[in-house]
Amino acid sequence: MSNFADNQSGMGEAIRQYLRRNHGLVVSDEEVSDVVEQLSLEADPEAGIEVSGRDIVTGLRRTVEIGRGDLPPPDALAALC
């Protein structure tokens, strides 16, 4: 696997953990990949990205909106992995 792929999977796992800890949301691999892709393409740090997953408590589908500004800095995300 290349460094780029390693970085993408590491970032994806960090985002997954961030969503679980801060929003109580469990997300699929596909949803995490979409979020990583959208964050890498989005130029505006204030632009929102909708993320859907299962609520940890109720088990029901729920959607939250996050932006690049909502996420911790990349080094803090890396520490979550």
The 10s digit of each residue's pLDDT in 60-74 is 999 999 877 777 666
Predicted TM-score of the model (pTM): 0.74
Angle at 44 between CA 74 and CA 46, to 5 degrees: 80
| Higher pLDDT among residues 38 and 70, named by residue | 38
What is the token pair recorded at 55? 């609520």
pLDDT greater than 50 at residue 39? yes
Domain range for 64 is 3-80
**Residue 44 and residue 22: Cα distance in Å, rounded?**
22
Q: What is the CATH number of the domain that holds 34?
A: 3.90.640.10
Domain count across the chain: 1
